[in-house]
Structure 1
Amino acid sequence: MPSETARELRRRLHQQQLISAFGREALRGAGLDGLLQDAARAASEGLDTDLAKVLQHLPGEQCLLIVAGVGWGPDVIGVVRFGTDLASPAGFALRTGAPVISNHLGGEGRFRTPQLMVEHGVRRAVNVLIRGEAGAPPFGVLEVDSRDAQEEFSESDVAFLQSLANVVGLAIDRDRDRRDRDLLTREAHHRVKNSLQIAQTLLRLQLREVEDPEAKRQLEQAARRIMTIGAVHERLFSGPAIGLVVVATYLRGLVEDLRASLGVGDGGRPLALEVTPASEEAVWDGDRVTTLGLVATELVTNAFKYGRGTVTLRFEIAALTGGGTLVVADEGDGPPPGFDQAKGGLGMRILTTLLRGGGLAAERPPEGGFRFVATLAPPPAGNGG
């Protein structure tokens, strides 16, 4: 086999390996910025040059902005813009959708050479369009430049570059879909939170009109339950990802809310929170945190109604299963002998429903006082949150 043919074959095989590796990276869900940089790096390596760049179309500014690249200084990426007119090689690719090969930029009659490329001694360039789903505006252009005037870019090089650009287009579609879903999710949770706040306000207004102590107590407890659920929706976007909540942060906020709603501020009975060090970083999804918050609200309210002294709420994650234990203790004597949880009031019935898959135990520790120990079930298989 002639040496030139063998060299060309090795080049094409290497390009295919680069496309395959880049595709795997894209499938892993890497961030778009990093993926654009990887695309420029793969393009540069595949065409054996040290200059490549990704240009994003900014329709409002009628320009192409360099958003990723290799071989360019820090004053170029995110700063330098090219025109989108047909006299610009990248602009031509953007407007026509056709790849552009210019192996003799200095003698080109079709295009002008951008000043940046003149300053870097670029002699030839190849551009392909980055496009996502059909009907969507193109994202921009993937371009490779070379200072070497002896070689020439070929149609095979265009095919390699277009393959990379197509993978980028798919990643852009996925990123756009994710951002659209996130926006819709944020809006939905925002509306739910507002609705819960309205419901809580209406209950508080109704409380002013109620004179019966038992009815007033029931309305107050209902308002606290709504507050607990609303607090979850408020914190669903402060966690490490949308829909996930750092449990310790949520519980600290809930305790502050309970102090206010139960009227146990300065001079009242203390309400303390303990979170074990191993549980500080625990992250749960919104449904599980809602269950945790409702259980805590029921037990703390119960302790203030029937118990004495300091009320302590303690949370510990079960490292092996991902479940959790919530202990609410006070200094009182607890329920009377013969107390049956199954025959308790509405609060106990709510707890029984919430703690399915877990459990609730009443304990009288040796040091005195009383505590309820709620065991929250681990997440379903395959759901780490």
Structure 2
Amino acid sequence: MSDIGRPENGGELRRRLRQQQLISAFGREALRGPDLDGLLQDAAQAASDGLGTSLAKVLQHIPAENCLLIVAGVGWGEDVVGVVRFGTDLASPAGFALRTGAPVISNHLGGEGRFRTPQLMVDHGVRRAVNVLIRGEAGAPAFGVLEVDSRDEGEEFSDSDVDFLQALANVVGLAIDRDRDRRDRDLLTREAHHRVKNSLQIAQTLLRLQLREVEDPEARVQLEQAARRIMTIGAVHERLFSGPAIGQVAVATYLRGLIEDLRSSLGVGEGGRPLALEVTPASETAIWDGDRVTTLGLVVTELVTNAFKYGRDGVVVRLDIAALDGAGVLVVEDGGDGPPEGYDQVKGRGLGMRILNTLLRGGGLVAERPTDGRFRFVATLSPAPPPAA
């Protein structure tokens, strides 16, 4: 009969089962992809619970400072986490684990001849400690050390406790690898969008230079409109990284910037025809992906340019994203007469109208003449696709 099956080892069995439950729960939490700081704190809590102590900490290796910084912990004061640093030399228990990769068990810190006891642990009455290395993929620098401390001289830390801690540390290492991969992808994405933005700016500059050489009025109008379209797309790339996540854009903020750009490009000055933007409260918090915002911006650009070309008085752009299940309803209103009665904008032959009909597939464009005498186009943008299952 094995030792673990003996009655006197019932407590030991319960302890190991509890540790397995903690590892399983922690692994599920890590798979959900929480932020790394929160995951490190959860690791410290699981380590503390699994070894039945009130003190645990995660130390991150800071190569530039040649130290181990406490970045998460349980049982320590607010002036410890993010502040206290340990040495990385072999005389430090955590430093030994970092340098050698081997776990460290010290069940009698006061009588240790191998290591010195850090002052923080002396101040907290720590008598026993166990450390394991946190490492991600092979060949990558170690992240740091997971450590559990105890103030009592009760049951000694064992090799089974090391196995439990190492299992937790391995899950942390996988999460760190994933976080590093995400940051690398984000960096590449930012670089790609930066290059696209620069290319669009060059294209817009070339069109502006070409305008100086063109005398034909119609050709100048076409070049100006092309430059505005490029400006609209470039503005999306400018804001792709100012939203809550990469590739996500705050719609209202983007539209306000676009309206200012259109004021400049259309020559709307003080005393001239005003250009105003109205955003419903629900639309203020709308976040769209880059593709949808690009479509919205191009629709706004085409309709506002058209309103200034054919309308009278001022132009009002109104956005309501709360309607139609988030589809987005855009109203561009001016004081003009609009197209002649019976005009079918779907069959419009102008480049601008053809662009609008292409952009608004899945939505729609309707010309309205309300009783207040102000003509308006009402554009409905198609709703965002449902998230992948």
Tell me the TM-score range normalised by the shorter chain: over 0.9
For 1:304 and 1:252, locate their aligned partners in 2 and report how far apart those are by CA, in whole Å: 18
Distance 1:207 1:320, change over 3 A: closer
Partner residue of 1:353 out of 352, 358, 363: 358
**Structure 2 vs 1, CA of residues 319 and 165 (structure 1 numbering), >3 Å: closer, same or farther?**
farther
Q: Report deviation, 1:381.
A: 2.2
Aligned to 1:370: 375
The answer as to 2:48 corresponding to 1:44 is yes
Structure 2 unaligned residues grouped into runs of 5+: none
- Please list the CA deviations of residues 217-254 of structure 1 after superposition, one character each: whole Å capped at 9, or x if unmatched: 00000010011011111111111111111111111111
Determine the C-alpha separation between the residues in 2 that align with 1:148 and 1:318.
60
Separation in structure 1 between the aligned mates of residue 252 and residue 128 of structure 2, nearest angstrom? 58
Q: Residue type of the partner of 1:270?
A: P
User: How far 1:319 sits from its partner (Å)?
Assistant: 4.7
SS of corresponding position for 1:217: helix
Give percent identity, aligned residues only: 84
TM-score (normalised: structure 1) = 0.97
Q: Which moved more, 1:112-121 or 1:303-312?
A: 112-121
Is the counterpart of residue 108 in structure 1 residue 112 in structure 2? Answer: yes
Q: Which residue of 2 aligns with 1:22?
A: 26
What SS does the corresponding residue of 2:326 show, helix, strand or coil? coil
For residues 24-74 of structure 1, give each alpha carbon's deviation from its aligned partner in whole angstroms, at most 9, with x where no partner exists. 111111111111111111101110111111011111222111111111112
Aligned counterpart for 1:83 among listed residues 75, 80, 87 = 87
Closer, same or farther in 2 for the Cα pair 1:368/1:323, shift >3 Å?
same
Aligned: 1:315 with 2:319:
yes
Rounded Cα–Cα distance in structure 1 between residues aligned with 2:127 and 2:338: 86
Task: Tell me what 2:210 maps to.
Answer: 206
Aligned position for 2:179: 175
1: distance between equivalents of 2:243 and 2:96?
44
1:233 partner letter: H
Structure 1 alignment gaps of length 5 or more: none
Alignment of 1:1-150 (within 5 A): 4-150=8-154
Evaluate the alpha carbon distance shift between residue 122 and residue 135 of structure 1 in structure 2; reply closer, same or farther with a 3 A threshold.
Answer: same
User: How far does the alpha carbon of each residue in 1:157-209 deviate from its partner, in whole angstroms, 9 at most, with x for none?
Assistant: 01110111011101101111111111111121122111111111111111111
Work out the CA distance in 1 between the residues paired with 2:235 and 2:8: 69
State the SS of the aligned residue for 1:365. Answer: coil
Q: Secondary structure at the match of 2:337?
A: coil
One-letter amino acid of the counterpart of residue 372, structure 1 = F
Aligned to 1:261: 265
Structure 1 residues 320, 219: closer, same or farther in 2, change over 3 A?
Answer: closer
What does 1:237-276 correspond to in 2, within 5 Å?
A: 237-276=241-280
Q: More deviation in 294-303 or 361-370?
A: 361-370
| Structure 2 counterpart SS, 1:321 | helix
Equivalent in the alignment of 1:382: 387
Separation (CA, whole Å) in 2 of partners of 1:265 and 1:10: 77
Q: CA deviation at 1:100?
A: 0.9
| 2:348 corresponds to 1:343 | yes
Conservation of the 8 A alpha-carbon contact between 2:30 and 2:171: yes
Shift of the 129–117 alpha-carbon distance from structure 1 to 2, 3 Å rule, reads same
Measure, in 2, the Cα distance between the counterparts of 1:363 and 1:277.
24
CA contact (8 A) 2:274 2:315 kept: yes
TM-score, normalised on structure 2? 0.96
Matched residue SS, 1:254: helix
Distance 1:374 1:78 in 2: 52
Which of 156, 168, 183 lines up with 2:160 in the alignment? 156
- Mapped partners of 1:383, 1:160: distance in 2: 36
CA RMSD of aligned residues (A): 1.4
Report the Cα offset of residue 265 of structure 1. Answer: 1.6
Tell me the number of residue pairs that the alignment of Structure 1 and Structure 2 aligns: 384
- Is the 2:307–2:333 Cα contact (8 Å) retained in structure 1? yes
Q: Which moved more, 1:268-277 or 1:136-145?
A: 268-277
Shift of 1:344: 2.3
